[in-house]
A and B are shown apart, each in its own frame.
Chain A
Amino acid sequence: MRTKNLLLSTICILFIILWVYAGLSKLMDYQTFKFQLGRSPYLQNLSGIVAIALPLAEIATAALLVFNSTRLLGMYLSFFAMLLFTGYIYAMLYHSYFLPCSCGGILNKLDWHSHFIFNIIFTVLAITGIILMVWNKRTIKPNNGNLNHSSTKHQTIRQF
């Protein structure tokens, strides 16, 4: 249980760092980010909206991950965002007629392929986080939040 909690906390912290960093770096270099989006065949017509909505959504998702009550929602949003980003990079790599430079910040050291791998890893982390949270909720429910997973198993056996 302790290992699972540690893993879950690590995933949450990683996502909080990722979203805060990604959101702030985009806002701080808003003009460049908007310009880069305008060069994307898929986002050229939406660059204005996406350039402001995306970093705000990233920071909001980070905030949701901070609080216990909204952490699951934050993790679902993280999963959804990672799905979108991974799909977008796949489309850019294999279907786009033009491949502009990638994003700014530390992540600009990554090329599109490395970014794709990075996103897949974070998508898997998000789904792992969701599974762990749902599992934790289930193990806590039977005894008003005090039981661990092994106790739940024990209760299930006693019921039979």
Chain B
Amino acid sequence: MKHLLILAILLIIAACILYALNITSGAPNRIKNGFTRNYASRNARIITEKDFKLNLTSLCGMKGDTLFFSSSNPAKIYATTPTLESLDTFTINIPEIKYLIPAFHTTVIYPNVYIIGSNARMLIKGNLLTGKTDTIKINVGGIVNNPIVINGNKFINRTIENQTRNAIFKIFDSTGKVLKIDIALQDTLGDAGFTYDGMLNYDTSNGQLTYVTYFLNRLLIFDTTLKKLYNASTLDTTSSTKFELKKSEKGITHKSPPLIINTFSTQFKGYIYVKSKLEADNENKNFMNSSVIDKFDSKGNYLNSFYIPDPKGGRLRLFYLINGNQLLGLNMNHVTIFNLN
């Protein structure tokens, strides 16, 4: 009995310590964030979902009804349709490239596939039908961050430069040669791109690129010549970073835990969609078991917000508009199709 009591006391003390650590952790949404949302009349509804038992990392292209997915293996591209009935596999021949995995970005412009290795600084051009590939060294002078394929001969990225450690938007071509550099799009902080780290998207319908920062409420819109079009902001009020960086000869990294506010963004037919982690002051109970998406127009003006319910596989990680009415959600191997209307 005495020993059971000791075990119970230890259990209670451990629980109290963990609780104390939790309430002092500075987690988001413990206090009001100082902004409100306009909710759309309808939220996304699940139409169908499937667990493909594969680590699908992104929706990397669309052709008609066919949806292409990249996976943790750069040589494998998977394809399905919005009904998620079957999954086809395309295999391309990729030579062994140092540092290609895990930091690579795949884009399918059917039947071509473009794989850009951020750390490997390589462009792999392949054909899904033949499986043949060409490998080209990208000479941007640093890490090829946030690469976007504009077309088969034009690519945009946010290079983390080796020497200055600045993050600079650059255009390069299919030979890996830099065509244009623009240092005016973003402040250069020599911080390996951490402060304004974010996600770059390309909307083929209007030729606009959108850069949404992870840790700040910045929303930068520019065109394929790197000309700044709009400097907007996301809905929240986070205008300064809440983390410290550690700079050393080896590199730069976070010294304190960074608080991500905009976890994911995407563009579709002139609209920008941002998945926010911050709760609005007028948020409702949907926030607990859904992802809230803020919708902006092509100039960065806020329109409204809607919820995407959590699919079976857990919290939604990535989402993509696949047509005007449907949205695809991705959570590792779990794919979900949602209806928006």
Contacts and interface: CB of A to CB of B under 8 A. Distances in A.
A83 B11 contact: yes
A103 B214 CA distance: 26
Given A45-B24, A95-B22, A35 B7 contact: no
Contacts of A160: none
Contacts of A98: 254, 257-260
B31 interface: no
Interface size, B (range): 20 to 34
Nearest to A81: B14
Contacts of A91: 18, 21-22
Interface size, A (range): 20 to 34
B10 A83 contact: yes
Interface in A120-149: 127, 130, 134
Interface in A34-88: 35, 38-45, 76, 79-80, 83-84, 87-88
B285 interface: no
Nearest to A87: B18
Contact of B3 (A83, A88, A97, A134): A134
Given A91-B22, A95-B22, A84 B14 contact: yes
Contacts of A39: 254-257
B33 to A, nearest CB: 14
Contacts of B14: 80, 83-84, 87
Interface in B207-263: 246, 254-260
A147 B125 CA distance: 77
A83 B6 CA distance: 14
Contacts of A105: none
Contacts of B277: 97
Contacts of B10: 76, 79-80, 83
A97 B243 CA distance: 13
Contacts of A79: 7, 10
Given A45-B24, A88-B18, A88-B21, A76 B256 contact: no
Interface of A: 35, 38-45, 76, 79-80, 83-84, 87-88, 91, 95-98, 100, 127, 130, 134
Give the top 9 A-B pairs by smallest Cβ distance, nearest first.
A98-B257, A83-B14, A42-B21, A41-B25, A87-B18, A41-B257, A80-B10, A42-B25, A84-B14
Given A84-B14, A91-B22, A97-B260, 9 more contacts: A35-B246, A41-B25, A79-B10, A83-B10, A83-B14, A84-B18, A91-B21, A97-B257, A97-B259
19 contacts: A35-B255, A39-B254, A39-B255, A39-B256, A41-B26, A42-B22, A44-B25, A76-B10, A79-B10, A83-B10, A84-B14, A87-B18, A91-B21, A95-B27, A96-B27, A97-B28, A97-B277, A100-B257, A127-B7
